[in-house]
């Protein structure tokens, strides 16, 4: 059997466009850098930059401050080199036994190694070319996918040390992927980060420098900053979409607009059926428009009778089955002022009233990553430089804290103010979990909550008093109990009995107030307190490395705590 390759791209259409705003890409890189602090950015441009076009996005991201590029495959990385991106470090991490590693070395690409045979393949390519390899070791810190486990890393470490000592490879750093960084308050994120830190320490003790390590994706950057690693790998955020919409406005601007020219308009009689199987019938005499874009181009058929298309600033419903080449839009009895040639916006940044990629994802229960990667077929891609309006929200002009959100905290007063605003949501019996590293401001936030509740007594670090009761400032109002779960649970946080221990210890303290009559504010309680209550407010504080600036994220958690593997 003879195998051959051929052209697989559909001929581009003169009626269907993906317009990529490179100014939005540059803006979003800046937003990600603000969250990363001193941590540098590797812009993830795999899958043709999530459908945005890897070459142009890569150039823009580098100009905007990203220092490296991340690709999944060798072919993606070579596309960038062949396009003239010759100086920037480019890493690829998903490759097989047929991948030409010798060619990768000649192109000065960085290679991720996730299994022992890959190290052997790299060493063989080094012998073949005489070119030393720059590699990153991929670990499985809890994702349950590719990469060395901690035991395998321990076993392989001598081989990597030997390879580096011989000059055949330079082990640049370690990398891993988070499984649940988009789940606020999920303790597995911190555990995975700790696992990577432990592996880095182990490697450095063995003699490896490991000075370019990375774990954080967009979600981790938004909630944990750069986490103290040298690099972070934002993907979706660079394209202007938050993986955690519950955080509210974080100043990202979607860069992708998908639109088509209206092909024709047509009057339709009441009762007439539309498209295959007549899944929609006109309830009254109406006018329809044909938009030349279908499932061959990336409109999922599950969006049938769910989409809305924006034309001339008005939204119109898509009706009837999504076809291979076209959709039908109901313009209403008066035709909506729509004419052939008008631009119909499928999704974009929302500034024209159109749906966004996130809206599309929500319509059928998927994720915006998938929506962006759908777009193709006959779509013609074009680029623009359209200035974006930055919200750049600060605490001075932020609306009062809602049930979920994110806020930059530049000063102690900012943290106190957030605490006072959160207090307005609290009632007797509510539990607040304050999570974050030592010295990040948990006690200051607790002090702000106390001010908002109007309780008596000064709030101090619970390190010195395990739990302290603060009586209501006014009879009949709610009190507050401030708890240090770290000391109460020292060494048993991961024990299934930890929750029972915490309750027992609090009961043994003989506090001055009943817990059900107070708001309970728990420091260091993440991953334990959620098991005890049906509902709690989880607040995570992150400090950017080398900076006094913090970011706080918060949300109410209503589901029972899900046990982790």
Element (H, E) at 361: helix 357-364
122 and 199: one domain?
A: yes
DSSP 548: S
Question: Does residue 14 lie within any of the structural domains?
Answer: no
Could you give the CA distance from residue 46 to residue 75 in angstroms, rounded to a whole number?
A: 10
96 and 203: one domain?
A: yes
Element (H, E) at 502: helix 498-508
Helices (H), 37-170: 46-50, 54-63, 74-82, 101-106, 116-129, 150-165
**Residue 370, SS3?**
helix
User: What are the tokens at 16?
Assistant: 């269907």
233 and 262: one domain?
A: no
**Residue 546, SS3?**
coil
359 and 452: one domain?
A: no
176 and 284: one domain?
A: no
Contact 296, 282 (CB under 8 A): no
Question: Does residue 311 lie within any of the structural domains?
Answer: yes
133 and 60: one domain?
A: yes
Element (H, E) at 487: helix 485-488
Contact 564, 544 (CB under 8 A): no
Could you give the CA distance from residue 83 to residue 283 in angstroms, rounded to a whole number?
A: 53
235 and 132: one domain?
A: yes
CATH assignment of the domain containing 264: 2.40.37.10
pLDDT (tens place) for every residue of the chain, 565 residues total? 455 545 556 788 889 999 999 999 999 999 999 888 889 999 999 999 999 999 999 999 999 999 999 999 999 999 999 999 999 999 999 999 999 999 999 999 999 999 999 999 999 999 999 999 999 999 999 999 999 999 999 999 999 999 999 999 999 999 999 999 998 778 898 899 999 999 999 999 999 999 999 999 999 998 888 888 999 999 999 999 999 987 777 889 999 999 999 999 999 999 999 999 999 999 999 999 999 999 999 999 999 999 999 999 999 999 999 999 999 999 999 999 999 999 999 999 999 999 999 999 999 999 999 999 999 999 999 999 999 876 554 434 455 667 777 788 889 999 999 999 999 999 998 989 898 777 889 999 999 999 999 999 888 876 656 788 899 988 889 999 998 876 554 544 444 444 455 555 555 544 445 667 889 998 876 555 555 567 788 888 877 655 677 888 887 876 433 333 3
Predicted TM-score of the model (pTM): 0.78
Question: Does residue 508 lie within any of the structural domains?
Answer: yes
Question: Does residue 2 lie within any of the structural domains?
Answer: no
User: What is the edge-to-edge ordering of all strands in the sheet holding 518-523?
Assistant: 404-409, 550-557, 536-543, 431-435, 518-523, 479-484, 467-470
Question: Does residue 362 lie within any of the structural domains?
Answer: yes
Last residue of a domain, one of 191, 216, 242: 242
pLDDT of residue 448: 96
From residue 257, alpha-carbon distances to 60, 275, 379 in Å are 17, 26, 11
Question: Does residue 178 lie within any of the structural domains?
Answer: yes
106 and 136: one domain?
A: yes
User: How many domains, the chain?
Assistant: 3
pLDDT of residue 68: 98
For strands 343-347 and 308-311, give the pairing: antiparallel
179 and 41: one domain?
A: yes
**Residue 314 bears catalytic tag:** no
Contact 46, 69 (CB under 8 A): no
197 marked as part of a ligand binding site = no
Element (H, E) at 511: none
pLDDT of residue 202: 98
Residue 271 neighbours by CB under 8 Å, 6+ apart:
281, 282
Angle made by CA atoms 469, 401, 414, in degrees to the nearest 5: 75
pLDDT of residue 486: 65
CATH assignment of the domain containing 34: 3.20.20.10
Active-site residue (options: 127, 266, 276, 306): 276
Last residue of a domain, one of 201, 220, 242: 242
324 marked as part of a ligand binding site = yes
The angle, 0 to 180 degrees and rounded to 10, between the axes of the packed helices 150-165 and 188-205 is 30
User: What are the tokens at 522?
Assistant: 């728990």
**Residue 295 bears catalytic tag:** no
From residue 414, alpha-carbon distances to 246, 544, 547 in Å are 21, 16, 15
Active-site residue (options: 46, 59, 138, 408): 46
Contact 551, 247 (CB under 8 A): no
The region, left, alpha or beta by phi > 0 then psi within -120 to 50, assigned to residue 424 is: alpha
Question: Does residue 146 lie within any of the structural domains?
Answer: yes
Contact 312, 330 (CB under 8 A): no
Contact 91, 68 (CB under 8 A): yes
357 and 501: one domain?
A: no
User: What are the tokens at 131?
Assistant: 């070119």
375 and 432: one domain?
A: no
CATH assignment of the domain containing 488: 3.40.50.300
Last residue of a domain, one of 242, 275, 296: 242
Could you give the CA distance from residue 489 to residue 188 in angstroms, rounded to a whole number?
A: 17
Question: Does residue 346 lie within any of the structural domains?
Answer: yes
For strands 467-470 and 90-92, give the pairing: unpaired
Could you give the CA distance from residue 251 to residue 39 in angstroms, rounded to a whole number?
A: 19
126 and 37: one domain?
A: yes
What is the span of the domain harbouring residue 65?
A: 24-242
Residue with tokens 């291979």: 324
Could you give the CA distance from residue 157 to residue 141 in angstroms, rounded to a whole number?
A: 16
For strands 169-175 and 133-138, give the pairing: parallel
């Amino acid at each position: 059997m003879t195998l051959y390759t051929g052209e697989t791209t559909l001929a581009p259409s003169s009626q269907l466009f993906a317009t990529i705003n490179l100014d939005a890409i540059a803006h979003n890189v800046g937003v990600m850098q603000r969250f990363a602090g001193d941590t540098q950015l590797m812009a993830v441009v795999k899958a043709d930059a999530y459908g945005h076009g890897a070459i142009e996005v890569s150039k823009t991201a580098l100009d905007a401050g990203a220092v490296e590029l991340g690709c999944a495959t060798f072919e993606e990385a070579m596309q960038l080199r062949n396009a003239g991106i010759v100086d920037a470090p480019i890493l690829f991490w998903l490759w097989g036994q047929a991948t030409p590693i010798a060619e990768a070395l000649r192109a000065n690409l960085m290679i991720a190694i996730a299994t022992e045979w890959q190290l052997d393949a790299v060493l063989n390519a080094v012998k073949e070319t005489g070119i030393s390899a720059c590699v990153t070791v991929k670990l499985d810190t809890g994702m349950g996918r590719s990469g060395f486990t901690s035991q395998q890393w321990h076993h392989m470490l001598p081989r990597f040390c030997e390879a580096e000592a011989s000059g055949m490879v330079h082990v640049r750093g370690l990398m891993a992927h988070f499984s649940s960084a988009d789940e606020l308050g999920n303790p597995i994120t911190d555990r995975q980060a700790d696992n990577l830190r432990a592996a880095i320490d182990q490697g450095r003790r063995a003699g490896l420098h490991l000075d370019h390590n990375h774990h954080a994706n967009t979600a981790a950057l938004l909630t944990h900053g750069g986490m103290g690693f040298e690099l972070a790998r934002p993907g979706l955020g660079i394209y202007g979409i938050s993986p955690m919409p519950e955080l509210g406005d974080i100043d990202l601007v979607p860069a992708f607009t998908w639109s088509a020219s209206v092909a024709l308009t047509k009057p339709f009689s009441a009762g007439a059926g539309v498209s295959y199987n007549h899944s929609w019938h006109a309830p009254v005499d109406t006018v329809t428009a044909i938009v030349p874009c279908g499932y061959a181009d990336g409109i999922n058929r599950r969006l049938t009778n769910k989409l809305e298309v924006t034309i001339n600033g008005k939204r119109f419903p898509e009706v009837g089955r999504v076809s291979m080449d076209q959709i039908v839009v109901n313009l209403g009895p008066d035709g909506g002022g729509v004419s052939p040639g008008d631009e119909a916006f499928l999704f974009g940044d929302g500034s024209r009233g159109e749906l966004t990629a996130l809206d599309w994802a929500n319509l059928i229960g998927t994720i915006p990553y998938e929506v962006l990667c759908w777009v193709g077929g006959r779509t013609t891609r074009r680029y623009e430089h359209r200035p974006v309006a930055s919200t750049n929200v600060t605490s001075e002009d932020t609306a009062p804290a809602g049930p979920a959100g994110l806020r930059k905290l530049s000063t102690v007063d900012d943290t106190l103010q957030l605490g006072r605003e959160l207090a307005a949501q609290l009632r007797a019996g509510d539990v607040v979990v304050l999570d974050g590293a030592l010295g990040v401001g948990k006690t200051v936030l607790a002090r702000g909550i106390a001010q908002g509740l109007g309780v008596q007594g000064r709030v101090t670090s619970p390190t010195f008093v395990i739990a302290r009761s603060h009586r209501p400032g006014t009879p009949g109002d709610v009190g507050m109990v401030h708890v240090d779960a770290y000391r109460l649970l020292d060494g048993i946080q991961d024990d299934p009995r930890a929750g029972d221990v915490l309750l027992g210890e609090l009961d043994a303290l003989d506090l001055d107030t009943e817990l059900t009559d107070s708001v309970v504010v728990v420091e260091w309680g993440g991953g334990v307190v959620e098991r005890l209550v049906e509902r709690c407010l989880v607040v995570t504080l992150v400090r950017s490395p080398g900076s006094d600036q913090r970011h706080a994220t918060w949300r109410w958690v209503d589901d029972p705590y899900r046990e982790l593997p």
